[in-house]
């Protein structure tokens, strides 16, 4: 929706002369030309691509999920969310050798991090095996991901 130059899409609105989000996807000049109805792309950026989501079992981001969604044609995402408990960061880069995911977990919180990979045993955190890295509370290998529950801190995961 962000890069789509034909309707419906934000780029299509700009192409049709809009300087703010319009009431309808076709940017019809007869409709409102400053309307927040369609203005939720920023949530998709940190929630979808960055993967920062609340865990209902830990209200107020006491617990949260980091489940990034790398996309073909997108080399990196830098996402952050200013929660009531502190700054949550999910930054990732993907290249020929795999995925690098940098995460910041605020003090007195925990995060369940899902790292997409076909080889969970090969995931590292700062060069050491991720499953046994400092700060990791538990780990679960899945067919296409490694799921880690971690405490407060900064982590750099690398996955093939």
Q: What is the per-residue pLDDT across 49-71, written as a single tens digit (0 to 9) for each? A: 999 999 999 999 999 999 999 98
pLDDT at 40 > cutoff 80: no
| Residue 10, SS3 per DSSP | helix
Q: Is 105 buried (19+), middle (13-18) or exposed (0-12) by CB count in 10 A? A: buried
Give domain limits for the chain: 1-39, 42-159
User: Which residues are bridge partners to 106 per DSSP?
Assistant: none
**CATH code for the domain defined by 42-159:** 2.60.420.10
Confidence tier at 13 by pLDDT (50, 70, 90) = confident
pLDDT at residue 44 is higher than 90: no
């Amino acid at each position: 929706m962000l890069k789509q130059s034909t309707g419906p899409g934000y780029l299509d609105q700009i192409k049709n002369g809009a300087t703010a989000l319009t009431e309808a996807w076709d940017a019809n000049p007869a409709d409102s030309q400053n309307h927040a109805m369609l203005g939720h792309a920023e949530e998709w950026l940190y929630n979808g691509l960055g993967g920062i989501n609340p865990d209902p079992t830990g209200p107020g981001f006491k617990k949260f999920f980091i489940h990034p969604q790398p996309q073909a044609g997108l080399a990196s995402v830098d996402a952050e969310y200013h929660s009531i408990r502190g700054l949550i960061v999910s930054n990732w880069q993907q290249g020929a050798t795999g995925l690098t995911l940098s995460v910041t977990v605020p003090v007195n919180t925990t995060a369940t991090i899902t790292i997409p990979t076909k080889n969970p045993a090969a995931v590292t955190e700062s060069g050491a095996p991720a499953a046994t890295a400092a700060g990791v509370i538990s780990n679960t290998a899945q067919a296409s991901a490694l799921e880690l529950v971690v405490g407060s801190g900064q982590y750099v995961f690398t996955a093939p």
